[in-house]
């Protein structure tokens, strides 16, 4: 599943190919994915220039002066920029053809499992932050608002396990299952610890660990997927070296104790009983 780093790497990869370019055509090859495609999307975007790209949590944003295209990659989606003469395959559901310096190019969304989404937020419907999918989101983990102090303040009345509080996404977005286990390991915090029992100092370490883990993933993903926009380039998700994630029973890289796997809220958590208190 694409996590925040994959979405950010995708945004950085496609941005130079679409920003400032004019949309020539939008092609929808089915009625929708997780939700129906906006029927009037081809007409709404034709002739419009892409002002900028952005990201909010795992939503990739393409801004126009008339509104914003909101794209979610779901479980299996990815975006590539291709020459227009590459025929669409079975799972290619959405094309946005743009003018490029060397002719037309297509931003193509492929999504075999179809849990992704392409939605349109017209400017006249108000602030983008108020969109149904975006308004409940916590702060961006790589932005200035995300601090240990914020984590501490927002958890004073929450007695649920810190892993589940982070994963809820209402305090901070983008700390998915992998990055949650890894960040808690780096901060030395047991994932079962009640959120309101963690000190401000430990939250400072946790916030830094979250920023580090996500930033490193973006850097690594950027190099792994350098050519992901090309026809034959990698279009999958990147694999990284983890401390604990998916390493059940394997010796901890720091202390050698076997990494433990437990279930929290139906999701697997990996941690080291020695290194995380
Ligand atoms: Zn350990």
Residue ranges per structural domain of the chain? 4-130, 148-271
Q: Which of 228, 231, 146, 217 is nearest to 179 (CA)?
A: 217
State the average pLDDT over residues 130-157.
Answer: 97
**pLDDT-derived band at 100, boundaries 50, 70, 90:** confident
Answer whether 4-130 and 148-271 agree in fold. Answer: no
CA of 220 to the centre of ligand 1 (A): 24
CA of 193 to the centre of ligand 1 (A): 17
* Cα distances (angstroms) measured from residue 89 to each of 35, 61, 63, 69, 110: 21, 24, 27, 23, 8
Is the predicted pLDDT of residue 18 greater than 70, yes or no?
A: yes
State the average pLDDT over residues 200-221.
Answer: 94
- What share of the chain in percent tops pLDDT 70? 94
Crossing angle (nearest 10°) for helices 200-224 and 4-18:
50
State the average pLDDT over residues 101-119.
Answer: 92
- The pLDDT assigned to 30 comes to 95
pTM, 2 dp: 0.91
- The pLDDT assigned to 124 comes to 95
Please give the CATH number for the structural domain made up of 148-271: 1.10.8.50
Query: How far is it, in rounded angstroms, from Cα 220 to Cα 218?
Result: 5
- The pLDDT assigned to 223 comes to 64
- The pLDDT assigned to 1 comes to 78
- The pLDDT assigned to 235 comes to 46
State the average pLDDT over residues 143-151.
Answer: 98
**pLDDT-derived band at 225, boundaries 50, 70, 90:** low
What residue ranges in the chain does DSSP mark as E strands?
A: 23-28, 52-56, 59-64, 67-72, 78-83, 92-100, 103-110, 117-122, 260-264, 267-271
CA of 179 to the centre of ligand 1 (A): 17
CA of 269 to the centre of ligand 1 (A): 15
CA of 251 to the centre of ligand 1 (A): 8
Instruction: For 48-89, write each residue's pLDDT tens digit.
Output: 999 999 999 999 999 999 999 999 999 888 898 999 999 999
Q: Which residues contact 16 (CB under 8 A, 6 or more apart)?
A: none
- Looking at the chain, how many residues does it have? 277
- What share of the chain in percent tops pLDDT 90? 82
Is the predicted pLDDT of residue 233 greater than 60, yes or no?
A: no
- The pLDDT assigned to 177 comes to 93
**pLDDT-derived band at 231, boundaries 50, 70, 90:** very low
Instruction: For 263-275, write each residue's pLDDT tens digit.
Output: 999 999 999 999 9
CA of 261 to the centre of ligand 1 (A): 13
- The pLDDT assigned to 239 comes to 64
Query: How far is it, in rounded angstroms, from Cα 9 to Cα 6?
Result: 5
Per the prediction, the chain carries an average pLDDT of: 92
Is the predicted pLDDT of residue 232 greater than 80, yes or no?
A: no
Query: How far is it, in rounded angstroms, from Cα 270 to Cα 257?
Result: 13
What is the DSSP code (8-state) at residue 58? T
State the average pLDDT over residues 12-28.
Answer: 94
Is the predicted pLDDT of residue 199 greater than 90, yes or no?
A: yes
For the chain, first and last CA: distance in Å? 29
List residues with catalytic annotation: 2-3, 58, 267
Q: Which of 1, 53, 45, 49 is nearest to 174 (CA)?
A: 1
- The pLDDT assigned to 238 comes to 61
**pLDDT-derived band at 240, boundaries 50, 70, 90:** confident
CA of 249 to the centre of ligand 1 (A): 12
**pLDDT-derived band at 230, boundaries 50, 70, 90:** very low
CA of 250 to the centre of ligand 1 (A): 10
* Cα distances (angstroms) measured from residue 234 to each of 3, 78, 220, 227, 238: 16, 11, 14, 7, 9
CATH 3.20.190.10 at 4-130, yes or no = yes
- The pLDDT assigned to 210 comes to 98
């Amino acid at each position: 599943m694409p996590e925040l780093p994959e979405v950010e790497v995708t945004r950085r990869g496609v941005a130079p190919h679409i920003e400032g370019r004019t949309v020539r055509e939008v092609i929808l090859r089915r009625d929708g994915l997780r939700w129906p495609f906006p029927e009037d999307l081809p007409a709404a975007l034709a002739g419009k220039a892409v002002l900028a790209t952005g990201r909010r949590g795992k939503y990739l944003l393409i801004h126009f002066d008339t509104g914003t295209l909101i794209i979610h990659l779901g479980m299996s989606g990815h975006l590539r920029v291709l020459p227009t003469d590459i025929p669409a395959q079975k799972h290619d559901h959405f094309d946005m053809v743009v003018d490029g310096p060397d002719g037309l190019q297509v931003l193509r969304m492929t999504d075999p499992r179809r849990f992704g989404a392409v939605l349109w937020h017209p400017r006249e419907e108000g602030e983008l932050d108020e969109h149904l999918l975006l308004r409940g989101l916590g702060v961006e983990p790589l932005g200035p608002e995300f601090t240990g102090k914020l984590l501490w303040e927002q958890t004073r009345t929450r007695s649920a396990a810190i892993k589940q509080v982070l994963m809820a996404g209402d305090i901070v977005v983008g700390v998915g299952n992998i990055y949650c286990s890894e960040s808690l390991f780096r901060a030395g915090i047991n994932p079962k610890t009640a959120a309101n029992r963690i000190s401000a100092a430990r939250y400072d370490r946790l916030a830094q660990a979250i920023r580090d883990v996500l930033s490193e993933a973006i850097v690594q993903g950027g190099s792994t997927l350098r050519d992901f926009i090309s026809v034959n380039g990698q279009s999958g998700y990147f694999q990284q070296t983890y401390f604990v994630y998916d390493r059940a029973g394997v010796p901890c890289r720091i202390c050698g104790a076997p990494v433990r796997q437990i279930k929290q809220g139906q999701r697997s958590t990996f941690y080291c009983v020695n290194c995380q208190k």
